[in-house]
Chains A and B, each alone.
Chain A
Amino acid sequence: MPIKTLEVIRKRLEERPAELRKLRESGQKVVGWTGYNVPEEIIYALGFIPIRIAIGGDDRLVEVGGRYASSKNCVFIREIVGVFSENEDPYIQQTDILAFDATCLQNFRAAEVIEYYFKKDVIVLGVPRNFYWEEGKEYFGKEADEFARLLEERAGVALDLAKLGESVALYNDIRKTLKSIYTFQAAKDNVISWVEVFDLIQAGDLLDKKEYLSLLHETLAELRALQHNPIIEVDGSEGRIFISGSLIPRGDRKLISIITSVGGRIVGDDIWTGILPHLDLEIKEISPAGVALGYLNRTPHAALPYLDLESDRRLKKLHELLGEFKAQGVIYHTLRYCDPFTFKAKETKDVLAKSDIPVLEIHTEYAGSDYEALRTRLEAFVEMIKIKAESAAEVIV
């Protein structure tokens, strides 16, 4: 049974670029942001309209972006550069100011390239690699103060802490509601799929935040009416897949469509464009530094190196989510030249092997040329975990 609110959201997304144009004509400014640790609440509290820059899946734009950056940058970064070069994306066209962070150094370079070639006004937030040190947190707090100051200059107003508090409350409610909705997709007799929730999460990158929250509440109400209490349990024939690794932005549906076409059911993820950034974000102090620290203290992005394997929070979170969503296998997805994740592929596989969780590494880019090769791998993996789930032997042997 289709969820009616999802239809409303799709329609609102189609209308949004024209709406943004009108808002800009009336004097509002749009901040396009990208980076795992960009504290969006500060942007919102200053009266800007935040739009996330997360676009992928277009090999032509990757090629264009590579002319300005390099073919050795990850395809996501190249596509972002390509998007600014072509300036055809209806959302990107509406951006007045850009906010990048230095969580991933390639993201940092993309900011420089876009600033240099396309004369964009770019603010960059420094991010500590030693994020778990007190000194690192202090540095990040000061970077957040500077980030806020640079935005204040562009907004022409000082940051009002009361407004920042309201912004934090709004975003907290969005995160909490998303988490509730997410549980439904992984449950037995689900009426909403992971892909639909994934799209729903990404709609929040573009829609007005208050309207988005209201639509999330309506979605949740519909789900509760249709599905009551979601119960997550394993059905042996499903092939419950968890996606980990590099981000999958809007426009990139290659991997997801192949997984579902070969009979896999995606039940969870820990990717940057999925549920992960919305989990465990606790803001203890209403100030730019306080908000930023909330971001830094979440499950860290793989681009931030952590030097002790045993206490790695990223891997702990992965285990926790695999258990919560009762996944039977992990697709560890890496984009070409996405070092934060490719460097950890073998390690992640080894770590999960200790818990008897099979992992398939998929290394890909946005070109469609490897479609069949990926299909073979994914089909074989789904075959493998289904056989394993049904206690082997009987399905095929």
Chain B
Amino acid sequence: MVKTDLYEYPPELREEFEATEAIQFRDGSSATAADVWHFMTEIAPKRYPFAYTQKKYAGVRLSRDIHLPSAIKNHYLLLTMNDRITRSRENGAPVIFVQGGQSVDPYYAAGGIALRPASVGLWARGRHEGLGLNEEVVRQHKQKEKAYHAISFEACQTAGYENIQEGGLPIDMVAPFTCLRCSDISYGVEAHRHGPNKAVKLMNIDYPMRHQADKTWAVEYFAQNLRRLTSEIGKLAGREVTDADLSKEIRLHNEGRRLAIETAELWWSADLPPTNGVDRRSLYQMGGMEVHGDPSASLTVLRESHAYIKERVNKGIKAEGVVDKPIRLFVCGSCVFPNDFRIEEAGAIIVGQDNHWSDISTLVEEDGDPYQNLAHAILSYPYEQSVEVRAAWTIEQLKKSRADGVLFLYQWGCNTQSAIARMLCDTIKRDTGIPTMIIEQHEGGSEQSEQLLNRVNAFIEML
């Protein structure tokens, strides 16, 4: 089907873009900026026309901040996910389905590729070429519906099932952390046992709860879980995993985490927002180094972007499409967020999110037993602590990001984040006076419902 009315990158941008840095991949290969430009202007519009939609509120559309190289490179990495992951897997790297908002150091240390639900969805999406926006969304809905049929209509998180069991995606292992962040995850892992794909290995990385980081036995237990995890992935990858492998990976991932923290602090310090909300989120997430299925690629883009952000902040350059003094929103809750384009049109901007940031901003001790260090760091995620501790950390982020208001957003069917929503918001209001609002998101299409966005816009007007 011929697609018309697609977005095109301005040709005059080519020279400037091609002068930027290459993306370095984990396997030693690289993509020059010219390669990226060629793919994004010649190939991807044909293979993935949905991303080039002109619908201005479509969540999947390309960022229009075209002078920020990371905006284009991030999309390049997302749109090449299928090509890259398929190739890496053929070269012997097992692919493991994990949870969002968790670190992935041990998976890579053992020679695997860790993909969270959204990344698995991106990989699956890449296998269906030539689809326009509506066709792509219909495809996703059909897949999701199949998972609902096999699991439960009240399931929130089904990405693993719909793609691995119903979509034939060749994932080798399902092994997420079972933290309180999402109670569906461990049931979702279990659901694979009755699916048609019997080849996929299953494992829960059991996350202890309640003052977990202060309990030596809980840290020890989680470290044992991590050891079992690396051992199992090592078997799939055909290698023995040493403590040195994990130590090396922790150091690499710490670099990403530090860089994301520095980038965030720069961004937050600026008088004028240096990027739009979509690009800001992408930059912060690159610090988790799991979003593209290739930590090295994420790191090279983040390193380069850090310099650009620094320059924009120093020179007082504001991102395109953002108002001068936007209302600054911080988003809490589960793995969803309001439509940035609509938020920015209403004169606001999302400055941060607790989801993912909780793990990205948690550095791991580099000296000593890497399993114990990693276990302790993971059990310290602020997102997974008691409400008072989580609220204290959130308040710290609110202050750093100079947020004017807090939106607590959770996905329909999310049991555990929805249950903490009021407690967290009440604590934030009690301790800071910052206004908060709790919203439930029902399953989104390419855009969010007017009902949800009306509430968000009213909140922005109130602020």
Task: Report A's interface with B, CB cutoff 8 A.
Answer: 67-74, 102, 105-106, 108-110, 112-113, 116-117, 124, 126, 128-130, 133, 135-136, 138-139, 142-143, 146, 305-309, 336-337, 339-340, 342-347, 350-351
CB of A130 within 8 A of CB of B418, answer: no
Q: How far does the Cβ of B401 sit from chain A's closest Cβ, in whole Å? A: 25
Which of B183, B387, B422 is within 8 Å of A339, CB to CB? B183
Instruction: Give the distance in Å from the alpha carbon of A142 to the alpha carbon of B219 in the complex.
Output: 12
Q: What are 27 A-B residue pairs whose CB atoms fall within 8 Å in the complex?
A: A68-B423, A69-B419, A70-B415, A71-B418, A71-B440, A72-B419, A73-B418, A105-B180, A112-B387, A126-B208, A128-B208, A130-B204, A136-B206, A138-B217, A305-B186, A305-B187, A306-B193, A307-B192, A307-B202, A309-B194, A336-B154, A339-B183, A342-B154, A342-B155, A343-B155, A343-B190, A344-B187
User: 10 smallest A-B Cβ distances: which pairs?
Assistant: A70-B418, A305-B190, A142-B217, A139-B221, A109-B419, A105-B183, A342-B152, A343-B187, A72-B418, A307-B202
Which B residues are CB-close (under 8 A) to A307?
189-190, 192-193, 202-204
CB of A339 within 8 A of CB of B415, answer: yes
Residue of B nearest to A306 (CB): B190
Instruction: Give the distance in Å from the alpha carbon of A136 to the alpha carbon of B206 in the complex.
Output: 9
Instruction: Give the distance in Å from the alpha carbon of A381 to the alpha carbon of B207 in the complex.
Output: 41
Instruction: Give the distance in Å from the alpha carbon of A142 to the alpha carbon of B188 in the complex.
Output: 28
CB of A126 within 8 A of CB of B210, answer: yes
A73-B419, A106-B415 known; A346-B190 Cβ under 8 A = no
Residue of B nearest to A337 (CB): B154
Q: How far does the Cβ of B359 sit from chain A's closest Cβ, in whole Å? A: 19
CB of A72 within 8 A of CB of B415, answer: yes
Is B20 an interface residue, CB under 8 A from the partner? Answer: no
Instruction: Give the distance in Å from the alpha carbon of A117 to the alpha carbon of B427 in the complex.
Output: 11
Within residues 188 to 214 of chain B, which ones have a CB less than 8 A from any CB in chain A?
188-194, 202-204, 206-210, 212
Q: How far does the Cβ of B380 sit from chain A's closest Cβ, in whole Å? A: 16
Instruction: Give the distance in Å from the alpha carbon of A73 to the alpha carbon of B154 in the complex.
Output: 11
Is B414 an interface residue, CB under 8 A from the partner? Answer: yes
CB of B415 within 8 A of CB of A343, answer: no
Instruction: Give the distance in Å from the alpha carbon of A102 to the alpha carbon of B208 in the complex.
Output: 9
CB of A347 within 8 A of CB of B224, answer: no
Instruction: Give the distance in Å from the alpha carbon of A128 to the alpha carbon of B190 in the complex.
Output: 15
Which of B152, B180, B206, B414 is within 8 Å of A130, CB to CB? B206
CB of B154 within 8 A of CB of A339, answer: yes
CB of A350 within 8 A of CB of B194, answer: yes
Known: A105-B415, A339-B415. 13 other contacts (CB 8 A): A70-B419, A72-B440, A106-B183, A116-B387, A124-B209, A126-B212, A130-B225, A135-B224, A307-B204, A336-B154, A342-B152, A343-B151, A345-B152
Q: Among B206, B387, B410, B440, which residue has the most Cβ atoms of chain A within 10 A? A: B206
Instruction: Give the distance in Å from the alpha carbon of A81 to the alpha carbon of B190 in the complex.
Output: 28
> Which secondary structure characterizes the binding site on chain B?
helix
Q: How many A-B residue pairs have CB under 8 A?
A: 146
CB of B152 within 8 A of CB of A343, answer: yes
Residue of A nearest to B188 (CB): A343
CB of B152 within 8 A of CB of A136, answer: no
Residue of A nearest to B413 (CB): A72
Residue of B nearest to A347 (CB): B194
Q: Mark B142-177, 1 if CB is under 8 A from A, else 0.
A: 000000011111110000000000000000000000
Instruction: Give the distance in Å from the alpha carbon of A142 to the alpha carbon of B190 in the complex.
Output: 26
Q: How far does the Cβ of A332 sit from chain B's closest Cβ, in whole Å? A: 12
Q: Mark B418-435, 1 if CB is under 8 A from A, else 0.
A: 111111000000000000
Instruction: Give the distance in Å from the alpha carbon of A297 to the alpha carbon of B43 in the complex.
Output: 57
Which B residues are CB-close (under 8 A) to A344?
187, 190
Which A residues are CB-close (under 8 A) to B423?
68, 112-113, 116-117
Which A residues are CB-close (under 8 A) to B420?
109, 112
CB of B209 within 8 A of CB of A68, answer: no
Residue of A nearest to B210 (CB): A124
Which A residues are CB-close (under 8 A) to B186?
129, 305
Which of A102, A136, A345 is within 8 Å of B210, CB to CB? A102
Is B400 an interface residue, CB under 8 A from the partner? Answer: no
CB of B218 within 8 A of CB of A126, answer: yes
Instruction: Give the distance in Å from the alpha carbon of A220 to the alpha carbon of B202 in the complex.
Output: 46
Is B404 an interface residue, CB under 8 A from the partner? Answer: no
Which of A69, A139, A351 is within 8 Å of B218, CB to CB? A139
Instruction: Give the distance in Å from the alpha carbon of A302 to the alpha carbon of B150 in the complex.
Output: 17
Instruction: Give the distance in Å from the alpha carbon of A67 to the alpha carbon of B426 in the complex.
Output: 12
Which A residues are CB-close (under 8 A) to B204?
129-130, 305, 307
Which B residues are CB-close (under 8 A) to A351?
194
Is B32 an interface residue, CB under 8 A from the partner? Answer: no
Which B residues are CB-close (under 8 A) to A336?
154
Q: How far does the Cβ of A335 sit from chain B's closest Cβ, in whole Å? A: 10
Residue of B nearest to A72 (CB): B418
Which A residues are CB-close (under 8 A) to B155?
339, 342-343
Residue of B nearest to A105 (CB): B183
